[in-house]
Structure 1
Amino acid sequence: MKVAILSRGTLPISKDSIKGTETWVYNFIRKFPKNNIKLELFSSGDSKVRIPIHSLHKKAYFNTPSIKNFNYRIFRNALISQAFIYKPKFDLYHDNTNCGDLIMSWAQFINRPILVTIHGNLFSPHLSIFFSIYKHLNNVYFVAVSQSQRKAIPSLNFIRTIYHGIDTNRFVFSVRGGQSGFWAGRGTPEKSPELVVKLFNKIKQPLYLAIIRENDKSQWLKNKVLKKIKSDRIKYRFRLKKSMMIKRYGKSKVLVMPYQWEEPFGLVMIESMACGTPVVAYARGSVPEIIKDGQTGFIVNSSEKDKRGDWIVKKTGIEGLLEAVEKIYAMPEAEYLEMRRNCRKHIEKHFTIERMINDYVETYKEVVADYKQKKQN
C-alpha cells in the first residue's frame, strides 16, 4: 500500500517542528514501521524526513517573507492539487492540513479514499454548513483526535477516534521537576497566555512562556501579554526548539493551559505529563479526556455558567486556576512526587506513539478495504 501524507506546507516538517500539527506529522513519519505500507510526504522543500518529499516551494511559506498569512491558503491548495495529480501512484491519501475543509472540493474528483485527521477545531459555525455540501461523498473518512471533537459535527463520516501519542523515549521523565510554572503554545487569545501571566503576577512564582508568534496576533500579544509582565520572575522565549522544550517541561512545577476554545487535543499536555509535570487546564474540549483530575493535575471549570464536571477544584475561572496552582505548590513533597509519577504512568498507558501508529495502520487497511467494497457495490 502506498500512502500520500498531506501537510500544510506552512512550516517545514522536521525534528525542530514546534507547532502541534507539524510536530505530529514528523513524529508519525519518524516512528512509522518499515512494512508493506510506504509513505510519501507533500510538504515544503526544507522538510527533513526519511521518506520521499514532494514540494512546490523550496522554503516553507511561513519562512518566505513575501508570502503573508492571508496567502498561505492558496499555496496550500496548490500543494494539495499537486498531490492529487499523482493519484495513480497512491492507494490512500492521509490529509493533515487542518480539518479536511481544504480537500473536500477536490475529493469529488478523486477516485481514491481520503483519510482526514482533524487537527483543527470544528466548532466554527460555517464548517457544519460547508461539510453538509459534500455529505454525498463516499471516499472521505475522518479520524477525530478526541471524543469531544466529534460533538461539533457528529454527522461527519468518522471511522475512529485516535488519541495522539508521543515518543516517551524522547520525553525524559524528571523525578522532581522544578519551581517554575510553564505555558507553551501559539500567542493567541484562544490559548490565553495573558491569564497565566496575570495568575503568576499574583502568586509571585516564576513562570516561563514558550511562545509561537502568529503574525496577525503580534500586536495583541505585545499589548495583552508581554506588557503585562511585571516581574523578572516571568520570562519568555519565541520559537523554543523542541529539545529545549523537553528540558523546560522537566524543569517545571506545573503546566497551566486555560484554553478559551474547544481544544481539539493539546499535545503540550501529554508532553508535559510524559516529563512528569502535572497540568492545570480549563475543562474545555479534550481536557477532561486527557487529565485525570487530582492525579495528573487539576481540571477547572471556566465559569459558573459553563460547568463541565464536578471537579476537585470548586472555584471557577481564574480563581479556580489560582486554587489549582496553589494546591500544587502547597503539596507535601511526597504527594507531589507521586503526582509526577502518575503523570508518566498515565502517558505510558494511554498516549504512546506506538499505540497511535498501530491504530492508524489498522485504520488505513479498514479505509482501503471499505472503499474498495463501495466501488464494487
Structure 2
Amino acid sequence: MKILQVAYPFEPVSTASAGGTEQILALLDRELTALGHKSVVLARAGSRVAGRLVPSAPANADFETSCRAHETALKRLLAREHFDLIHDQGSGIRHWPGGPPVLSTLHLTRSLLGEAPALGPGRHYNLVSRSQRAQYADHVAAWAWPVVPNGIDLHRFRPGGRRADFALCIGRVCPEKGFHHAVAATRAAGLPLVIAGKVYRFDSHVRYFDAAIRPHLGRGVTFIDSPTAALKRELLRRARCVLIPSEVEETSSLVAMEAAACGTPVICFRRGALPEVVVDGKTGFVAEDGIAMANALARLGEIDGNACRRHAQQHFSSQRMAMDYLSLYRALAN
C-alpha cells in the first residue's frame, strides 16, 4: 500500500521527538517501511523518517506560518500523487474535498480537541484506548472502527544496569502533569525524585515550575532539562519506579509503556487510560491520590521487573501497532 501520514506542523517527527504523537508516527512509518509498504510523511522540515519525507513548514517557523505551509504542502502533494489512504495523525485535515479515504487518529483527550470530529464521505476516525472511546460514547465515530493502542520500540527500551535509589518523572513540566504530587509523595516516603523533562515557554508552565518545582530543587528533587533520548532510556532503566501523577484524562502513556519495557514499576493516578497501561499489583500500582502514591512507594518490592518486561512484550510492541493499523487500512481502502 502507499500511505500518506500527515503530522502536526509544529514539531519535527522522529523516534526521539518530545511529543508522543510524533514518536508514534515515526515508529509506524518505520514499521510500514520494513514491511515493504510505501510510507510518505508530510511533516515539519528536520523530521527523520524511514520512508519518504515531504517537508512542509521550515524548522524555525512560527505557529501561523507552520499551519499555512503545512496546508499548502498537503494540497500540492495530493494534486500530483495518488495514495491508497491518508493517515492524519495531527487531526489537521478538517475539510476534505474528496479523494482517498482519510483515517484520523485522535491522540488528544476530547476536552483538548474542543469538538467532536465531523463525519463525512471518506472520513474515518480511530481512538487509542478504551477510556478515550468512552469520552466519545455519544459520537458514532467512536464505534465505527477498533481502538488501536499505541506501541513502542521494545529494542530501544530494555532492562539493564544497577538500580539507583530514586523515583522518576518524565515529560512536560506543566500543571496538568501534576509533578508536584510526585514531589510530595517522594518527600513523604523519603525517596529522592528526579524530574526529567522540558518547561515550554508558556506562561502557565513557567509559573508552575517556578512555584511548584523550583523551590524543592536541591532538597531531594533534581531537575534534568530536556534530556536526550539516550539519557531518558538510562534513567528509565535505573529508576526504582516511575511516577505519573497526571491530573488529566490521559489517552495513553508511552512513558508507562517504556518503563514496563525496562522492567521498571509505574505508580500512576487513575486518570484516563493509565489503568489500561499499568496493571495494578503486577506492573505497578494505580493510586487514587497523593497519599496512596506515597504508600505505594513502600510496596515496590512486590513488583517483579521481569513481569513488567513480559507484559510490555505482549502488549506494547510497535510491530503489533503496525499490524493493527494495516488491518484497518485495508478495510478502509476496499
Is 2:214 the counterpart of 1:221? no
Give the letter for the 1:192 counterpart: G
CA pair 189-117 structure 1, distance change in 2 beyond 3 A: same
How many angstroms does 1:180 deviate by? 0.9
Residue from 297, 314, 317 that aligns with 1:325: 297
Q: Structure 2: how far apart are the matches of 1:41 and 1:149?
A: 26
CA pair 290-143 structure 1, distance change in 2 beyond 3 A: same
| Partner of residue 223, structure 2 | 236
How many angstroms does 1:225 deviate by? 2.9
Give the TM-score normalised by structure 2.
0.91
Give the TM-score normalised by structure 1.
0.81
| Partner of residue 267, structure 1 | 254
How many angstroms does 1:52 deviate by? 1.7
Q: Structure 1: how far apart are the matches of 2:113 and 2:124?
A: 21
Alignment gaps of 5+ in structure 2: none
Is 2:202 the counterpart of 1:212? no
| Partner of residue 42, structure 2 | 42
- Please state whether the residue corresponding to 1:103 is helix, strand or coil: coil
| Partner of residue 113, structure 1 | 101
Aligned pairs for 1:77-88 (under 5 A) are 78-87=69-78, 88=81
CA pair 344-125 structure 1, distance change in 2 beyond 3 A: closer
Give the letter for the 1:84 counterpart: K
| Partner of residue 123, structure 1 | 111
Root-mean-square deviation (CA), in Å? Answer: 2.0
How many angstroms does 1:240 deviate by? 1.0
Question: Can you list the C-alpha shifts for 1:128-174, whole angstroms capped at 9, x where unaligned?
Answer: 3xx3xx33x02111121101101122314241111111121111113
CA pair 26-125 structure 1, distance change in 2 beyond 3 A: closer
| Partner of residue 92, structure 1 | 85
How many angstroms does 1:355 deviate by? 0.8
Give the letter for the 2:229 counterpart: K
Q: Structure 2: how far apart are the matches of 1:243 and 1:30?
A: 19
How many angstroms does 1:111 deviate by? 2.5
* Over 4 Å off, 4+ runs: none
Q: Structure 2: how far apart are the matches of 1:281 and 1:46?
A: 34
- Please state whether the residue corresponding to 2:115 is helix, strand or coil: helix
Aligned pairs for 1:269-284 (under 5 A) are 269-284=256-271
Is 2:10 the counterpart of 1:6? no
Are the aligned partners of 2:200 and 2:206 in contact in 1 as well (CA < 8 Å)? no
Give the letter for the 1:246 counterpart: R
| Partner of residue 103, structure 1 | 93
Give the letter for the 1:127 counterpart: E
| Partner of residue 312, structure 1 | none
Q: State the identity as a percent.
A: 23
Is 2:126 the counterpart of 1:161? no
Question: Can you list the C-alpha shifts for 1:51-92, whole angstroms capped at 9, x where unaligned?
Answer: 221123331xxxx3x72xxxx266235413421332242221
Are the aligned partners of 2:42 and 2:55 in contact in 1 as well (CA < 8 Å)? yes
Give the letter for the 1:324 counterpart: A
Are the aligned partners of 1:178 and 1:250 in contact in 2 as well (CA < 8 Å)? no
Q: Structure 2: how far apart are the matches of 1:82 and 1:275?
A: 39
Question: Can you list the C-alpha shifts for 1:218-245, whole angstroms capped at 9, x where unaligned?
Answer: 4223323332315343211122111111
**Number of positions where the alignment pairs a residue of Structure 1 with one of Structure 2:** 328
Question: Can you list the C-alpha shifts for 1:74-121, whole angstroms capped at 9, x where unaligned?
Answer: 623541342133224222111111xx3x312x22x1322111111111
| Partner of residue 340, structure 1 | 305
| Partner of residue 25, structure 1 | 25
Q: Structure 1: how far apart are the matches of 2:217 and 2:156?
A: 34
